[in-house]
Each structure stands twice: as C-alpha cells, then as structure tokens.
Amino acid sequence: QVQLQESGGGLVQPGGSLTLSCAASGFFFRRYEMSWYRQAPGKERELVASISSFSSSPNYAEFVKGRFTISRDNAQNTTYLQMNSLKPEDTAVYYCNARFMVTYWGQGTQVTVSS
C-alpha cells in the first residue's frame, strides 16, 4: 500500500522556520522524483520545490529560492523541506508528491505563518 505521510507543519511567526518531512512507503522511493506543493485558501495548488531521483538535483519556485531547501534520504525513504524566513504568504497546506510514470500524493500538512 502506497503511503506518503507528511509531518512537521504548524503555526510559526513571520521570520521563523519549520521543517516538513514526508515518509514514503509502498513503492521504490529512490526511483521517484519527489516534490512539495502547496495550496492556499482560494488558490490553485502550486509547485514549491522538487528533487530528482538519483542525482538529487533540486529545483525551486522563484518565490522560495534562498529560503527553502528540499532534500531526500533514500535510505530512510523520506523527503524534507526546510523552510526559513517564513512569510505570511507561505501559509498553505503543503503536500508531498512522488512521480515516476505514476503520481502519488500525501494528505497534506498545514503551515500557518502569523504573528
């Protein structure tokens, strides 16, 4: 059974940091490109960052470059998103995504940036 379980979301003040984790199971993790998406209320889901399978090359949306870092641990079947210098506009539900011929989604974790 395929599972993508996000964790690490919560409430943080502007300028603060959070680290999201996505624990994967039920598929050959290291073969899949892993990504983080987010969806704010009333907005479409958007790509935040992705990391390739074997080379682990990261790509970032312009609005998070220099603030967020995506990484993966193939031994632990886990993907991370380190988020620094958080802004109120980063408030959204963050989703983990796995893609290789098929696509899997996690249930999402809420991130709220507010004072």
- Reported as a single tens digit per residue, the pLDDT across 96-105 is 999 999 999 9
**Percent of the chain beyond pLDDT 70?**
100
pLDDT at 56: 80
Query: So what's the pLDDT on residue 74?
Result: 94
Three-state SS sequence of the chain: CCEEEEECCEEECCCCCEEEEEEEECCCHHHCEEEEEEECCCCCCEEEEEECCCCCCEEECHHHCCCEEEEEECCCCEEEEEECCCCHHHCEEEEEEEEECEEEECCCEEEEECC
Q: In the structure, what pLDDT confidence band is assigned to residue 55 with cuts at 50, 70 and 90?
A: confident
- CA gap 15, 75 in Å, rounded: 32
Residue 59: pLDDT over 80:
yes
